[in-house]
């Protein structure tokens, strides 16, 4: 029985790195991780979505959308959210 690495499975099922399907998958995964980080930090600080929204000047529904799909969000909004949550943000950019 042949075994496969996670990278091999991703290449086979989702597509190779650089293909449109793989790029979309990677983007969706990253936005999901950002949303989860917001929710985790908010809960760790014991802040409700409503209270966090008030801290940065947005509605509770916008916080909920960020936590569930951080796709269409500006860097400014992310920085305000994490700033209100007293979280350190590190932006890493790697050029291929």
Question: Which residues have C-beta within 8 Å of that of residue 48, sequence separation ≥ 6?
Answer: 42, 60
Classify residue 96: in a domain, yes or no.
no
Indicate which CATH number applies to the domain containing 42. Answer: 1.10.260.40
Residue 58 Cα distances to 50, 65, 71, 93, angstroms: 9, 11, 17, 28
Question: Which residues have C-beta within 8 Å of that of residue 88, sequence separation ≥ 6?
Answer: 82
Domain, as residue range, for 16: 6-84
Q: Distance between CA atoms of 75 and 79, rounded to whole angstroms?
A: 6
Classify residue 93: in a domain, yes or no.
no
Instruction: State how many domains the chain has.
Output: 1
Q: For residue range 59-91, list pLDDT tens digits in order.
A: 999 999 999 986 778 889 999 999 999 998 888
Classify residue 48: in a domain, yes or no.
yes
pTM of the model: 0.78
> 3-class SS at 27?
helix
Q: For residue range 24-61, list pLDDT tens digits in order.
A: 998 888 889 999 999 999 999 999 999 999 999 999 99
Q: Distance between CA atoms of 34 and 38, rounded to whole angstroms?
A: 6
């Amino acid at each position: 029985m042949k075994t496969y690495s996670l990278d091999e499975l991703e290449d086979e099922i989702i597509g190779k790195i650089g293909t449109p399907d793989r790029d979309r998958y990677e983007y969706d995964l990253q936005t999901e991780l950002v949303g989860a980080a917001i929710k985790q930090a908010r809960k760790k600080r014991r802040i409700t979505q409503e209270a966090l929204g008030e801290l940065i000047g947005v509605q509770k529904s916008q916080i909920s959308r960020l936590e569930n799909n951080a796709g269409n969000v500006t860097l400014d909004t992310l920085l305000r959210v994490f700033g209100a949550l007293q979280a350190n943000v590190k932006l890493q950019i790697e050029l291929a």
